[in-house]
Amino acid sequence: MPTVPMLRYWLSEHPSIVNFRWSHSQSWGSTWPFLVAAVTFYVVAAVILHLLMILLRRVRQVPLGPIPAIHSLSMAVISAVVFTGILLSAAAEIRDTRWLWRRSRTKTTPFQWLLCFPIGTRSSGRVFFWSYIFYLSRFLHLIRTFLTVLRRRRLPFFHLFNQSILILTSFLWLEFSQSFQILAILSTTLLHFLVYGYRFLTSVGLLATCFQFVLNCQAALLSCNLLCHFGVFLFHVLKGGCNGIGAWICNSVLNSTILLLFVKFYKENRCDGIHKNPPRF
């Protein structure tokens, strides 16, 4: 079987992907109690580890060997797979439903669909399968927090808040079939592929460390999200509404908070002229 058709089948046409449905009884981690418990456990565990590292002042750094490099490589590969999967799945959904959009009252276009799901959209099918995989991958990202504490004895508030909010927002995407999530996942996984790939290369000595690269990638992602949120608002007002708008409002508030914290951090480091404590995404 040719490579491209085989890739398309396994990433967008497999029955498990096409027939996926977000369900509290069948999807792991799909309930509110699980979400609250997981985020709480993450925050508490990270704070306790941080306090232990402060108490053990004699231990400047815990040797972790190749673990950080393996984690970075794994996250880069997972991000690349999710990016490719949701890209192919979005293209397949557009191909299969374009005829229905032409008959709708609002005359939905592919670009509009990427930003604004029609009212009544349910969390099922190809796109939401990859949204679910992205949600699960957020828990693997949390490992980075503990590696950072063990290696540097630091627990930046921005990092802890950012990771917790990203789990919450990815849960809201699925729970309320929120609009805008396709572009958000595409941009986020692309960023993670670049950042974690860069971290892997630096950890094995193939590239020199440059914290400005990580900062610029995060700044680009936040800027892209801001533009997309503005687009969702316009479509919601002008095109008769977008699905999951309540969750989108909550998402917008959380993203605005992250943006303000990041701008504050970025300005402080720019004024210092050196990036001694880069954010850990």
pLDDT in tens, 155-203: 878 788 889 999 999 999 999 999 899 999 999 999 999 999 999 999 8
pLDDT at 1 over 50: no
In contact, 89 and 126? CB cutoff 8 Å: yes
State how many domains the chain has. Answer: 1
- 199 domain residue, yes or no: yes
- 44 domain residue, yes or no: yes
- 41 domain residue, yes or no: yes
pLDDT in tens, 98-146: 756 666 666 678 888 899 898 888 999 999 999 999 999 999 999 999 9
pLDDT in tens, 13-39: 999 999 999 999 889 999 999 999 999
Domain that holds residue 226: 4-275
**Mean pLDDT value across the chain:** 86
- 280 domain residue, yes or no: no
- 255 domain residue, yes or no: yes
- 281 domain residue, yes or no: no
- 202 domain residue, yes or no: yes
Prediction pTM value: 0.89
